[in-house]
Chain A
Amino acid sequence: MYAIAPRDPATQSQGVVAGYAQTAQRWPGQPLVPRPAAAAALAGPAALTRRLAAGRGDLAGHGAKRAIGQLMHLRTRVVDEDGAPVAGAVVEIWHCNAAGKYIHVNDNHDAPADPNFYGAARLITGDSGLVELRTIKPAAYPVPDTGGWWRPPHVHFSVWGRVWLSRLVTQMFFPGDPLNEHDAILNAVRDAEARSRCIARMVPTRQDHLLFEHQIVVRGRKASATLP
């Protein structure tokens, strides 16, 4: 049996964030309604790969087709709250290019596209919960249409855990970037340790790429055997 426990709000993003105007247009004004436990929440789409096909784990390319930017390997592990690897999980990853431009048609930022970079990958975790992506390091860019701030380099993740309530969409940041401490999105998480867990670890290497490791924890754990 699998269980989902309430989270500590300090470890999660606040709904309305000072300096990020759209949040006050979009986060509900009424309190969220506590939902009675329901069977659906503890079930989940089994074998989601039947609907979402996995692609290649290489966005960087080679030779004349090589994307511009610092080559990077990103090794991400998906685990649950017990630390148990979540195998067979669908992981969607997207990020901007080395000039701060996304492949998305809605990105009006005046930065060059890179014809050799397509910044989206869908991968499936292996038995140890790992997905590995060869890509280039994304750049910082100014937040569109807010007159706001510069986003630090980051990578978007969309992850499925074992059940419906394990669904997680988050972002990964890079260690030591001076923009991290000014980012309204990272700092919407009040707990400093929870923020630090959103920052990848750089592994020193003498190979041809930067190496980053990251762990993502999805909700859920084995239910205690000693329930009252």
Chain B
Amino acid sequence: MSHLTPTAEMTLGPFFPLEFAAGANDLTVVEGRRAEGEVIEIAGRVVQLDGKPLDNLVLEIWQADAAGRYDNPEFFGWGRAATDAQGGFSFRTIKPGRNEGRAPHINFLLLYSGLMRQLQTVMFFSEENDPVLSAVPAARRERLIARKKGNRYVFDIRLRGEGETPFFDD
């Protein structure tokens, strides 16, 4: 059977059209209907090695619905946001449920200028037993746990340097 090699990933570059990045960071409403579950906000800031915040970096998320399902037509578990000049991003979404032995979590994908391939990481809501979280060296796991402030979860991302966010390879 023939096999084709996947095309090489390349950097997003600095000029990803703003219209593509905008308007997809609210996952709570699908075609005018409010999805079921607890509405939460996820906010964070993305910085590089020297601490500089990154502008117009693109984050995409993929998550289960409140019941832990990925195939709910009433909830579209995908969203996209871009950072502002201060490196800040935010999503409004539904808190995901538990799924097949997994702790509630949100999958993140990062794209940016000078980032030669996409980076994948995962945000958890608390430190609990999860096969993906367990794959991360214990000392680095806390970087994947969002800090709760009211109904807002803060998930700061450091691409490189002391205390950098763990990223995954699949």
Contact = CB atoms under 8 A, between A and B. Distances in A.
Interface of A: 4, 6-8, 11-15, 17, 20, 22-30, 32-36, 38-41, 43-46, 48, 50-52, 79-83, 92, 94, 96, 102-107, 119-120, 122, 144, 156, 158, 164-165, 167-171, 185-186, 188-189, 194-195, 197-198, 216-219, 221
Contact of A218 (B6, B14, B15, B169): B6
B64 A30 contact: no
A35 B131 CA distance: 9
Contact of A82 (B1, B49, B73, B116): B1
Contacts of B86: none
Interface of chain A: mostly helix, strand, loop or mixed: loop
Contact of A107 (B11, B15, B159): B15
Q: How large is the interface on B (under 10, 10 to 19, 20 to 34, 35 or more residues)?
A: 35 or more
B161 A38 contact: no
Interface of B: 1-20, 24, 30-31, 48-50, 52, 54-56, 60, 62-64, 70-71, 73, 76-79, 99-100, 102, 107, 109, 111-120, 131-132, 135-137, 140, 159-161, 164-170
Given A50-B30, A219-B6, A36 B78 contact: no
B24 to A, nearest CB: 6
Contact of B20 (A6, A34, A46, A122): A122
A186 to B, nearest CB: 8
B111 A169 contact: yes
Contacts of A104: 14-18
A13 B7 contact: no
A216 to B, nearest CB: 5
A43 B76 contact: no
